Structure 1
Amino acid sequence: MESSIELDRLHFFEQACKISEATYASNPLDADNLIRWAGALLELCQFQSVPDSQKMIQDAISKLEEALSINPKKHNALWCLGNAQTSFAFLTNKEDEAGPYFEKAAQYFQQVVDEDPSNEIYMKSLEISAKPNVKQ
C-alpha cells in the first residue's frame, strides 16, 4: 500500500512539473507558477539518486530566484529557497561542504522571518537551521 502512495506522489509531482512548464511557456512572468514548479521539483528529488536530486534542487533554486526577480515580495519563495539549500546540504558528503549551504539556508530563513515575523513555520525553520544534524 505504501509503495502505491509513493507512486501516486511521484506521478502527481511529475504532472505538476509538466503543467508548470506549459504555463511557463505561455506566461514566463508568473512568479507563483515558478514557485509551484520549484516546489514540485523539491518533492520529486526525494525519488532520485543523489546526483539527480542535486540537479533538481539546483533547478528549483534557479526557478525560485527567477520568481523573486519577478516579484521580490514573494516571501514563500525565500522560505522555499531556505528549504532547497538545506536539502542540498544534506546531500553533500562532508560537514565542511554542507556548511555553506546551511549558512545560506539560515540567511533565507532570517529574511523570511523579517518579512513575516508572525509566521510560526518561518520561525521554526529559522530555529532548526541554527542547529542542523549532519551525519559524518
Structure 2
Amino acid sequence: MDLGNDFDRLLFFEHARKTCEANYIKNPLDAENLTKWGGALLELSQFQSPAESKPMLSDAVLKLEEALSINPKRHDAMWCLANAYTTTALLIPDIEEAKPFFDKAAHFFQQAVDEEPSNELYRKSLEISSKAPELHAEINKQQEVFGQALGGVGAPASSSSTSTTKTAAKKKKNNDFAYDVLGWVILAAGIVVWLGFAKNQAPSQPPR
C-alpha cells in the first residue's frame, strides 16, 4: 500500500484504528495494540481541523499512557506520546500555555532515548524538541505579521504597510523552516507506526 498519498494514509490509519479498537475488546492489556491505537489517532489528527484534532489527540495521549502503565519500558509508546504532546502544544497559540506540553514532550523524548540510545530518530527528535518552544513563538509571531498585512489589503500603501510586507517577506524563509522542522517531529511518528502497522495490521491481500 502506498502511504505517500494523503487519502491512502487516511484510509490506512482509520482501518488501523478500528482494528486496534476491536483488538482492545479482546485483550485490553496488550501494550503494543494500545501503542498502535494511539499512533493511529495521532496520525488521523493531522487530517482534522484544530477543533476536531484536540479531542483526538487527547484520546491518543490516554491510549499511550495506558500502554505505558502496562509496559513502562515501551520506548515507541514514549516516543509517540512525546509527538502527541508536541502536536497539542502547536495547537495552543499562547506560548506560556503551550510550554507545559513541550516540557512533557521533551521528557518523553528523553525517556525514549534512554530506553533505546542507538535509535537515531529518537535522538534527533529529542534534539529538535529543545528548539520547539522558540519555533512555536516564531510561527505565531509571523502569523500576527501576516494577519496585519492582510488587514492592510485594499488600503492605500503607506510606509508602515510596506514595512510590514517587507518584514513578512524577509522572515518567510525562517517561518517555512520552522514549519518544516516541527512538521518533521510530528510526522516522524508515522514512520515507525507505519512499519509496525504494515507488518502486522495492514489489510490482507485478496487471494489470486
- Report the AA paired with residue 8 of structure 1: D
- Partner in structure 1 of residue 6 of structure 2: 6
- Partner in structure 2 of residue 50 of structure 1: 50
Query: Number of residue pairs matched?
Result: 133
Q: Cα distance, 1:60 vs. partner?
A: 0.5
Give the Cα–Cα distance (whole angstroms) in 1 for the partners of residues 112 and 103 of structure 2: 14
1:38 equivalent in alignment to 2:38? yes
- Partner in structure 2 of residue 111 of structure 1: 111
SS state at 1:47 partner: coil
Per mean C-alpha deviation after superposition, the further-off stretch among 37-46 and 108-117 is 108-117
SS state at 2:28 partner: coil
Structure having the higher Rg: 2
Provide runs of 4+ in structure 1 moved above 3 Å.
none
> Counterparts of 1:57-68 in structure 2 under 5 Å?
57-68=57-68
- Report the AA paired with residue 113 of structure 1: V
The alignment's TM-score, normalised by the length of structure 2, stands at: 0.62
- Partner in structure 1 of residue 186 of structure 2: none
| CA distances 1:52-93 after superposition (whole Å, capped 9, x unpaired) | 111111100100010011111111111111111001011112
Give the Cα–Cα distance (whole angstroms) in 1 for the partners of residues 43 and 94 of structure 2: 23
> Counterparts of 1:54-133 in structure 2 under 5 Å?
54-132=54-132, 133=135
The alignment's TM-score, normalised by the length of structure 1, stands at: 0.93
- Report the AA paired with residue 55 of structure 1: P
SS state at 1:103 partner: helix
Give the Cα–Cα distance (whole angstroms) in 1 for the partners of residues 122 and 15 of structure 2: 28
State the percentage of identical aligned residues.
Answer: 60
